[in-house]
Amino acid sequence: MFSSASAIRVIIVICVALFLITLMVPDMHELMFETLALYYPANEKFRLWQFVTNVFMHGGFAHIFFNMYALWAFGTPLEQLWGKRRFLIFFLLCGVGAALIYTFVNYLQFTSLYNDFLQAGVAAGDIDVFVESGRYIPATMAAVGESQLRSLWGLFNIPAVGASGAIYGILVAFGLLFPNAKLFLILVPVPIPAKYFIPALIGLDLFSGVTGFSIFGGGVAHFAHVGGAIIGFLLMWSWRARINRRRRDFGL
C-alpha cells in the first residue's frame, strides 16, 4: 500500500492515525503526548526522537485539519515536481529543523526568565521545584509576578506538536517555485500572489513570536513556523545552487 502511495498520503494517514489513537483510545492521550510530543530538553519527559515524532502529532481537530489541508494544497505540486522521495526528505528536514530552532528559542527565553528570577532574589532550588512540580513559595509570586511564573512553567512543561513547521517550509518552496500563483487570505476576498502572501504570513508569525501578540490565537508555536520557513529557504537555496553548479560543469 505505502510503496505506491504518495508521500503526502502517507503523512496524512500517519497524522490522522496518531490523532485518532490519542483522541479515542482510552488512557492513551497522556501516554501519546508524553512519548511523542516535543518537551523542553531539561524536562524528564524529553526524548531525542521527539524532534521527529512531534511533527506527526496534533492537538485538536482544527489543528490537524488546517495542517493536512495545507500539506495537500501546497505540497501536491511540489511532490509532482520532485517525486515522493525528495518531497519526504524536504518535509522531514523542515519539520526537524523547525523543532530544533523552536527548542533553541525556548532555551533562550527560559534562561532569560530563569535569570530574572535569580536577580529577583528567588533561590535556584525554589525555581527548579516550581518548574518541575508547580509548587512555589507565596513570596515568589510577589517577587516575579504571575505572568512570569506562567511563562516559565509553560516553557518547561508544555510540549510542542504539529506539522506546521514543516508546512511553512513547504510554503516557502511553493512561493519560490510558483511565485505568481494566486492565494486567498482569510477575511481578505482578493487573490494575492504567493510571492507576497507567503512572506506576509511568515512576517506575521515573526511579529507574534517577538511581541507575544498573536492574531492566530494562543498556543501557537510561532518560532516553529518561522524555523520551518528558514529551513525551507535554506534547502531551496542549497538545491538550486547545486543544480546551477552541475549545469556549469556540463556546459549547460
**pLDDT tens digits, residue range 124-172?**
998 999 999 988 777 777 778 888 899 999 999 999 999 999 999 999 9
175 in any annotated domain: yes
* pLDDT for residue 85: 94
State the Cα–Cα distance between residues 91 and 86, nearest whole angstrom: 9
pLDDT score of 231 more than 90: yes
Tell me the residue range of the domain where 204 lies: 7-249
Residue 83 pLDDT? 93
Q: Give the pLDDT mean for 26-53.
A: 95
- The label of the residue with cell 515536481 reads 81
C-alpha cell at 26: 482510552
The pTM of the full predicted model, rounded to 2 decimals, is 0.89
Residue 32 lies in a domain: yes
- Does residue 86 carry a pLDDT above 90? yes
Check residue 218 and report its DSSP letter.
Answer: S
Q: What are the helix and strand counts (H, E) for the chain?
A: 11, 2
| pLDDT computed for residue 243 by the predictor | 55
What does the pLDDT look like over 100-136, one tens digit per residue?
A: 999 999 999 999 999 999 998 888 998 999 999 988 7
70 within a domain of the structure (yes/no): yes
Tell me what the pLDDT averaged over the chain comes to: 88
On whether residue 241 sits in a domain, the answer given is yes
Q: Confirm whether 177 is domain-assigned.
A: yes
218 has which bridge partners?
none
- Residue 2: inside a domain: no
CA gap 168, 200 in Å, rounded: 12
Question: 171 Cβ partners below 8 Å, 6+ apart?
Answer: 70, 74, 198, 201, 202, 229, 232
Q: Are 11 and 91 in contact (CB under 8 A)?
A: yes
Q: What confidence tier does 215 reach under pLDDT thresholds 50, 70, 90?
A: low
CATH number, domain with residue 24: 1.20.1540.10
What is the tally of structural domains in the chain?
1
